[in-house]
């Protein structure tokens, strides 16, 4: 029997299995899933501090505790930023779930994939949740003492403010869990809920966003947040969730989302496939039309070679491309015609309203360098500041 010893900075059995899978994949070039790994014994590890003297400290053992049906696999109250970033790579989180199923307009599955397989801890990962729409940062690293980032501090205060307003409006009390969650039923999934609702098998998700999405929020919870809540319900075992959204610092909107077993079953199936096939395995997520995927391809195949390749693809894919191209041109022309009609109605006015929708048509000025004249009259100076950029142009 072969024995492998791994030195970890996390005394958690599942994380040990994940790390072992990655090591075995590197050694054998074969895919090994967590289900195939048995008899893992995790012992206290030696952690070197960043002080001048490398004192060896025993890792702090996590006292077993649960939140509903989930195990608390790591504490977040005093967790460092780097430890949190490392922990979030060891499973699919709530914000990851929406991206994987294509419901997050700000982040795609390929970005999740690249983040999970990259062993480097990067600061940019901090801003990869719903930052474009939700001011709040992820709860699992909000309370650590190391960061002095104002946005994170503000996010923490706003989350607590939203939670207090939720309690004030509903009479339902909430508390912090201060831990990362995992359910043995879904070992590939992790969760960090904002608040637990006391006396109910429920949690509270706090959102702060701008007034541009007010109508959408009044009607229902946007899809990406629904997916996030279903993910959290799967991991925690909660029967329902509350979402409290502070809209444009002017209104608090509260929605309740009930557990839906069919949605959770389908969501967990997609997440498990993504984890086993893409993160543990060698598959790359399929193209999804996102800008993230375009950037990935542009970086991966940055330079071309002067050669020809015959693609054995069905012509129907190009026929569909042509159809879409024609439709886009058609709708662009219709859109332009509407713009022209509105301009003709606005005339010399800068601002107009249709209902509560604001339309502007203002003068703008821009100062630019006349490069043609500069090259003609000062060619040496022009040449000194010219920059050459290389891109690959795709045409059909």
Q: How far apart are CA 357 and CA 252, in angstroms?
A: 22
Give the least confident one: 18-27, 134-143, 213-222: 134-143
Q: Is there a single domain that holds both residue 71 and residue 36?
A: no
**Is the residue at 254 inside a domain?**
yes
- For the whole prediction, is pTM greater than 0.85? no
Range of the domain at 247: 62-280
293 is a domain residue: no
Q: Last residue of some domain: 225, 260, 280?
A: 280
Quick one: pLDDT at residue 81? 76
pLDDT digits (tens, 9 = 90+) for 357-387: 899 999 999 999 999 999 999 999 999 999 8
Write out pLDDT tens, residues 176-219. Answer: 999 999 999 999 999 999 999 999 999 999 999 988 899 999 99
Confidence class of residue 35 from pLDDT cuts 50, 70 and 90?
low
How far apart are alpha carbons 244 and 256 in whole angstroms? 9
CATH classification of the domain holding 220: 3.90.320.10
Q: Tell me the CA distances in angstroms from 207 to 138, 157, 372, 396, one per residue in order.
A: 11, 12, 51, 43
In a domain, 288, yes or no: no
Residues above pLDDT 70, as percent of the chain: 77
- In this prediction, residue 18 carries a pLDDT of 67
Residue with tokens 């022009």: 382
In which band, very low, low, confident or very high, does the pLDDT at 132 lie, cut at 50, 70 and 90?
Answer: very low
Same domain, 91 and 172: yes
- Hunting for tokens 């939700």 — which residue is that? 134
Check whether residue 322 and residue 356 sit in a common domain: yes
Say whether both 175 and 241 belong to one domain. Answer: yes
Going by pLDDT thresholds of 50, 70 and 90, the confidence category of residue 10 is: very low
Do 33 and 158 share a domain, yes or no?
A: no
Q: Which of 61, 84, 109 is the last residue of a domain?
A: 61
Is 290 within a domain?
A: no
Are residues 135 and 273 located together in one domain of the fold? yes
308 within some domain: no
Q: How far apart are CA 224 and CA 94, in angstroms?
A: 9
* Domain assignment present for 236: yes
- Asked if residue 132 and residue 36 are part of one domain, the reply reads no
| Tens digit of each residue's pLDDT (9 = 90 or more) over 65-123 | 999 999 999 998 888 878 877 888 999 999 999 999 999 999 999 999 999 998 775 54
Binned at pLDDT 50, 70 and 90, residue 64 comes out as confident
Domain end residue (candidates: 13, 35, 61): 61
pLDDT given for residue 9 in this prediction:
46
Number of domains making up the chain: 3
Q: What pLDDT is attached to residue 332?
A: 97
What Rg do the C-alpha atoms of the chain give, in angstroms?
26
Note whether 25 and 169 are same-domain residues: no
Cα-flanking dihedrals φ and ψ of residue 46, to 5°? -95, 125
Structure confidence at residue 133 (pLDDT): 46
Considering the chain, what is the average pLDDT of its residues? 83
One domain, residues 262 and 359: no
Q: Are residues 55 and 82 in the same domain?
A: no
Q: Are 19 and 113 in a shared domain?
A: no
Is 390 domain-assigned?
no
Rounded (10°) CA dihedral 92, 98, 100, 103? 180
Closest CA to 277 of 269, 289, 265, 266: 269
pLDDT tens figures, 231-273: 999 999 999 999 999 998 889 999 999 999 999 999 999 999 9
pLDDT in the model for residue 378: 94
- Specify the pLDDT at position 123: 46
Co-location of 255 and 339 in the same domain? no
- Examine residue 298 and state whether it is found in any structural domain, yes or no: no
pLDDT at 19 over 80: no
Neighbouring residues of 208: CB distance < 8 A, sequence distance ≥ 6 = 134, 135, 136, 155, 158, 159, 162, 245, 246
pLDDT, mean of residues 276-286? 95
pLDDT the model gives residue 350: 96
What is the average pLDDT across 153-179? 92
pLDDT at 56: 36
Per-residue pLDDT, 233: 98
At residue 87, the pLDDT reads: 86
pLDDT at 79: 83
């Amino acid at each position: 029997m072969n024995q492998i010893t791994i030195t970890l900075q996390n005394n958690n059995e599942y994380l040990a299995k994940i790390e072992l899978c990655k090591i075995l994949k590197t050694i054998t070039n074969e895919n090994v899933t967590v289900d195939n790994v048995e008899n893992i014994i995790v012992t206290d590890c030696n952690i070197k501090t960043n002080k001048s003297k490398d004192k060896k400290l025993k890792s702090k053992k996590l006292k077993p505790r649960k939140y509903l049906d989930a195990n608390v696999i790591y504490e977040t109250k005093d967790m460092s930023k780097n430890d949190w970033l490392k922990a979030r790579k060891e499973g699919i989180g709530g914000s990851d779930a929406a991206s994987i199923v294509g419901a997050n307009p700000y982040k795609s599955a390929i970005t999740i994939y690249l983040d999970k397989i990259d062993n480097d801890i990067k600061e940019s990962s901090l801003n990869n949740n719903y930052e474009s729409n939700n001011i709040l940062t992820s709860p699992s690293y909000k309370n650590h003492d190391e960061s002095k980032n104002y946005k994170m501090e503000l996010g923490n205060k706003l989350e607590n403010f939203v939670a207090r307003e939720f309690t004030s409006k509903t009479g339902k009390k909430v508390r912090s869990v201060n831990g990362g969650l995992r359910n043995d039923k879904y070992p590939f999934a992790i969760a960090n809920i904002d608040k637990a609702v006391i006396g109910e098998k429920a949690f509270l998700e706090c959102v702060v966003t701008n007034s541009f999405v007010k109508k959408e929020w009044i009607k229902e919870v946007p899809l990406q947040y629904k997916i996030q809540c279903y993910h959290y319900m799967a991991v925690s075992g909660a029967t329902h969730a509350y979402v409290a959204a502070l809209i444009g610092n002017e209104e608090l909107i509260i929605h309740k989302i009930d557990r839906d077993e069919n949605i959770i079953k389908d969501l967990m199936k997609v997440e498990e496939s993504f984890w086993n096939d893409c993160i543990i395995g060698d598959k790359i997520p399929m193209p999804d039309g996102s800008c993230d995927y375009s950037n990935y391809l542009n970086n991966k195949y940055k330079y071309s070679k002067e050669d020809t390749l015959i693609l054995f693809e069905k012509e129907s894919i190009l026929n569909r491309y042509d159809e879409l191209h024609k439709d886009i041109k058609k709708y662009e022309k219709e859109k332009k015609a509407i713009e022209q009609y509105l301009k003709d109605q606005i005339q010399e006015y800068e601002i107009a309203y249709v209902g509560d929708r604001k339309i502007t048509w203002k003068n703008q000025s821009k100062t630019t360098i006349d490069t043609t004249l500069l090259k003609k009259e000062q060619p040496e100076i022009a040449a000194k500041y010219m920059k050459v950029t290389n891109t690959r142009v795709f045409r059909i």
